[in-house]
Amino acid sequence: MEAGSGSLEVVVLAGGRSSEHDVSLSSGAAVLAGLRGAGHRARIVEIGRDGVWREAGAPLTLSPGEGLLGADVVFPALHGPFGEDGIIQGVLEALGVPYVGSDVAASAVCMDKVLFKRMMSTAGVPQVRYAGVRADRFRSERAQALAELAELGLPVFVKPAHLGSSVGIAKVSDAGALEPALAGAFEHDELVIVEAMASGTEVECAVLGVPAGSPGGPARASEPGEIVIESEWYDYEAKYTPGGMELKIPARIAPAARDRVMELARAAFLYAGCDGLARADFFVDGESVLLNELNTMPGFTPTSVYAKLMDASGVPYPTVVDTLCRLARERAGRRAALRH
């Protein structure tokens, strides 16, 4: 479908089983309004914390190969585990319906912070120094694991490897606080990542896929934005408390750093095999640019960072959601032509 050539039946998925359930509901409501503003016929399906899919409160029955409520495309506005990690993408593949965003493999890789960083290392992308620790190894080889983590110095950030929105993260500035921080992170995830603290400015850059046949493809990077916070670091409260964070566009960084951020955002998107959209997060110090992570389904309200970055780059919110639906259908068409 070309922009403005007709409307689509779109089902928006929102909610989900993760701690980001409420954030996802906000994203889903905004996507629904944006799709309708772009001329599409959209409806919403909420995935409860219990994992049940419901429309208007009524549970749905899913049948492999039979699509979802007659939708031309599904927009999974889901964040975190059971939504952004390949699980829902696999369900949608089984249903046989086109869906917005990255596929199973890319979603899973980007949600696994350790695996993602290993992939980026192979591609030569500069990153924050890190180490991954599994709970079973920490129990059996505690001294060796702590010695490896000590090589990162202090302070460090301890994070569950598969969560988003800064859930379960602790900043450790004293060696005695490292083990309690690890224990807290292991309550959320069997795999934990420990990252060295990076200096400089936190900068984010949105990436949007480009429809086939359009110039500048297969993806474009937005104008970078600078995250300004009053708290010590960009934690959950800073992200979701009104006034906790200010986004400055364009970011107050050197021109060479700006170009490098955009280059690396697009490169990371392509290296990871992403589709449709992503938001890349960086630390910038002078002309030094370090990639931190890639989010395949960032917060998606019109006031979220991703939407603001795209709007500042000349792509308003309704155009973004319309483009994502068209990209989803393009991918489904390409894959349908393959022989299995």
The alpha helices in 10-152, defined as continuous H runs, are 21-37, 87-95, 104-111, 113-122, 135-140, 142-150
**273 classed as catalytic:** no
| Given 220, 258, 279, 331, the catalytic residue | 279
Q: How many CB atoms lie within 10 A of CB 240?
A: 16
| Given 46, 84, 112, 281, the catalytic residue | 281
| Given 80, 86, 168, 299, the catalytic residue | 299
| Given 295, 306, 322, 331, the catalytic residue | 295
At 315 the three-state DSSP class reads coil
Residues in the chain: 340
At 229 the three-state DSSP class reads strand
| Given 15, 16, 19, 20, the catalytic residue | 20
| Given 54, 90, 148, 240, the catalytic residue | 240
* DSSP characters over 89-112: HHHHHHHT--BSS--HHHHHHHHS
Q: Which structure tokens are listed for 263?
A: 């280059």
**292 classed as catalytic:** no
- Residues 307-337 as b/e (b if ≥16 CB within 10 A, e otherwise) read bbbbbbbebebbbbbbbbbbbbbbbbeeeee
**287 classed as catalytic:** no
How far does CA 333 lie from the centroid of its chain? Answer: 24
Pairing of strands 73-76, 9-15: parallel
Closest by CA position to 42, among listed 33, 50, 51, 54: 33
Q: Which structure tokens are listed for 7?
A: 């409307």
How far is 221 from 208, CA to CA, in rounded Å? 7
Q: Which structure tokens are listed for 118?
A: 């290993």
Element (H, E) at 332: helix 317-336
**165 classed as catalytic:** yes
Q: Which structure tokens are listed for 111?
A: 């949600």
| Given 24, 26, 165, 222, the catalytic residue | 165
**148 classed as catalytic:** no
**200 classed as catalytic:** no
* Phi-psi group of 126: left, alpha or beta (phi > 0 → left; psi -120 to 50 → alpha; rest → beta): beta
What are the φ and ψ backbone dihedral angles of 311, each rounded to 5 degrees? Answer: -60, -40
**43 classed as catalytic:** no
**306 classed as catalytic:** no
Please give the positions annotated as active site: 20, 165, 240, 279, 281, 293, 295, 299
